[in-house]
Chains A and B, each alone.
Chain A
């Protein structure tokens, strides 16, 4: 029953989003997917790699990861990170469509004795849960339903834009009103409140480098959380989680608000609902705004 897939955790899995990686591995194990790490994976270049490294430098980064994954076998390349998904998917698509870029990337990879033919499917971990595992299977694993908890499902940007509809004939999500995250929350027994900030942008890497330009974007999202009546925010994106959590004190200072919302990954919510261990599996202790008290209230 267990299916093995190549897994590209991405750089944030070792730092700001280690709690996504920990909880996703635990949850996927319960859901019957064995994640096999891509051998010696490297950074995808995120949103800024092309500026210094150039178009082809950026493509070569993803090319090496895809080549290493293909060499290990299988046809799926799964990542939990929005930016890793975007870049890996983009390069993969370009390699399939554009013989010039394919030749250029392979000429660079040949320096390492590697090659890649465009044959893998680059997939987001959430899409694998939706299409290969199924939300019903998620529901079956729930032993500790989060009954009574109100959660705002915040998808953000790059998890669904621009690639959600392009791989596998548009079978999983839409750009502006995706439902998968609400389905995950509901499967875990919590209430997915109607939330108008669902696909609003936190400012991404601009929020890391120039928060003065983007604090108002995150404030808008938090205003919507408040209006929705949610007690916590749930997201699939590593940078969304970090930005929305770490900037709440600065937002409160700048706008005179009093936000203090825990921002959880969907995989942590699942881990708790599956009755897995709070620390080693759900990594609940790795939040700047601790969610434990809130989650224990639901039990």
Chain B
């Protein structure tokens, strides 16, 4: 998915919508959306989204690429999958939102890159790819300090009672991160996966 999606030249230009149908996970069912709103109505955090999935899907068809890829609807998804199991047209709503979030980050939109979710994802992937395991301490710390030293310190202090409780109950360890034995092998597999994704964009499942 390294190819940039097309920017529609006029309203209701379907070039972006067609690109989403072909390139986004679950996008092949997006055209079946009948705008019933079951997704937005089922969303536990729908009232905190600027658009919600129903409207966002119409915006895709309306050619509003920039408004779609800068929308907080992509970032506020809590991955509860209510929308996926309830959609009467079997549109995999959450999967589409997740993949659109990936597109928004790759295409460099500031709203996307600066979102809490993208910052957290960066810290998370760093740990998962480097060690083969998620180190909750390091991921949280890295995420907090992605906002800068002052904000990182503030967030760290706000959650210090939780961290101390987790250490006391042996749910957070001190010392080296947990890691796979064969991290070298994992690094090779992930590097190849990135290479294939760049090579075969538009041909994924």
Chain A residues close to B by CB (< 8 Å): 11-12, 14-19, 40-43, 45-57, 59-61, 63-64, 86, 94, 97-98, 100-101, 104-105, 107-112, 114, 157-158, 161-162, 175, 200-201, 203-210, 213-214, 217, 242, 246, 249, 285-288
Contact = CB atoms under 8 A, between A and B. Distances in A.
A214 B202 CA distance: 35
Contact of B169 (A41, A109, A285): A285
B197 A112 contact: no
A63 B76 CA distance: 28
Interface in B92-136: 92, 98-99, 101-102, 105, 116-122, 124-129, 132-136
A49 B124 contact: yes
Contact of B79 (A52, A205, A217): A205
A97 B45 CA distance: 32
A64 B180 CA distance: 12
Q: Is the interface of A mostly helix, strand, loop or mixed?
A: helix
B121 A52 contact: yes
Contacts of A52: 105, 121-122, 124-126
B130 to A, nearest CB: 10
Contacts of A158: 79-81
B157 interface: no
A1 to B, nearest CB: 32
B194 interface: yes
Q: Is the interface of B mostly helix, strand, loop or mixed?
A: helix
20 contacts: A11-B136, A15-B136, A46-B134, A47-B98, A49-B128, A51-B98, A51-B101, A51-B125, A52-B124, A54-B197, A55-B102, A98-B205, A100-B204, A104-B205, A107-B196, A108-B189, A158-B81, A209-B143, A210-B116, A287-B169
A261 to B, nearest CB: 15
B161 interface: yes
B48 interface: yes
Interface of B: 1, 25, 44-45, 48, 76-82, 84-86, 92, 98-99, 101-102, 105, 116-122, 124-129, 132-137, 140, 143, 161-162, 165-166, 169-173, 178, 180-182, 185-186, 188-194, 196-197, 200, 203-205
